[in-house]
């Protein structure tokens, strides 16, 4: 009886060891696949972000001369009409405070 039990235990141990070895191989394959996918996703995201940055930089670069021109006009108007500028500034501050107090 002890011999039968010993043989059964040895068979079960051997089978469990085989299953563990197969599972370890599968995990290794899955890790490699996941690593490749992660690297590809990182590269895609990085490339998309770089394209987005390039597009934004180009648009800002194209708009910069117009923005500078408009800022000079606003600066000139503020210098020529300081009282009007102060009133408009206070009105904007009042609107912002009013909008923030509603929440």
What are the tens digits of pLDDT across the range 64-91? 888 889 889 888 988 898 888 889 889 9
Whole-number pLDDT of residue 26: 93
What are the tens digits of pLDDT across the range 45-55? 999 999 999 99
Contact 85, 77 (CB under 8 A): yes
Confidence check: pLDDT of 27 > 80: yes
- Provide the residue range defining the domain that includes 98: 2-102
Confidence check: pLDDT of 2 > 80: no
Total domains in the chain come to: 1
Whole-number pLDDT of residue 34: 87
């Amino acid at each position: 009886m002890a011999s039968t039990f010993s043989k059964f235990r040895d068979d079960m141990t051997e089978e469990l060891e085989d299953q563990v070895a197969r599972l370890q191989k599968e995990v290794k394959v899955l890790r490699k696949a996941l690593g490749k996918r992660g690297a590809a996703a990182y590269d895609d995201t990085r490339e998309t972000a770089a394209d987005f940055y390039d597009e934004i930089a180009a648009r800002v670069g194209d708009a910069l001369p117009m923005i500078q021109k408009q800022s000079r006009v606003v600066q000139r108007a503020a210098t020529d009409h300081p009282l009007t500028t102060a009133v408009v500034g206070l009105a904007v501050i009042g609107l912002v405070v009013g909008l923030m107090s509603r929440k």
